[in-house]
Amino acid sequence: MTFWRHPSPWIIATALVGGVVARIAVGGYHPADVWLPLAMIAAFPVVEWVIHVVVLHYKPVTVAGRVIDTRLARDHRAHHADPRDLPLVFIPTQTFVWLFPALLAIAVLAFDRLGLGLTWFAMIAAIGMAYEWTHYLIHSDYTPRTAAYRAVWRNHRLHHYKNERYWFTVTTAGTADRLFGTHPDPADVERSPTATDLLGTG
């Protein structure tokens, strides 16, 4: 399967399995180990929206003659320029060099119980895998077969091919976008000339 030919799914899957195994080994379950994952799932559309808008659609700024830009934003601009280029669909491998150590540090230091921190870490990895799989499917040749997935597919396709200033959620349709006012009727939105050129430099 094409999905597994890219590094990101393997890295996330390894973190997921490692997190689950560590959580089982630590033991000591509490109700929080149930409600925390549920709360994370409920909050994820908002988190995804914020990351997409603030991090991925970040525009370079010049400070004291120096251009401040990020690798994630550059890669995302390349993804918009060619949404069919599958390697650009996945989280860049270099991101995991700092991301997973940071997440592990949070899991160990930010929770009053190591077990709860590991529950959080494993859930982060599970959500990350769901995001990568959904994003991959949307940009692949897979045809939507259910109404729920068709809505998600259409929402993200509108972001890429209609107007990049709207429809920022990827794994859901019309959730956080409705909350933040970025889910208009597509018929009322003009096609953007910068959907594939986010900085409008072309």
pLDDT tops 70 at residue 202 = no
Choose among 144, 147, 140: nearest CA to 174.
147
**pLDDT digits over 134-150, tens only?**
999 999 999 999 999 99
CA distance 110 to 150: 38
pLDDT tops 70 at residue 30 = yes
Give the mean pLDDT of the chain: 96
pLDDT tops 80 at residue 20 = yes
Look up the pTM and report it. Answer: 0.94
CA 153, distance to chain mean position in Å, is 15
Q: What is the pLDDT of residue 201?
A: 83
CA distance 15 to 5: 17
**pLDDT digits over 59-99, tens only?**
999 998 899 999 999 999 999 999 999 999 999 999 999 99
41-50 in b/e form (b: 16+ CB < 10 A) is: eeebbeebbe
pLDDT tops 90 at residue 113 = yes
Q: What is the pLDDT of residue 74?
A: 96
Q: What is the pLDDT of residue 174?
A: 86
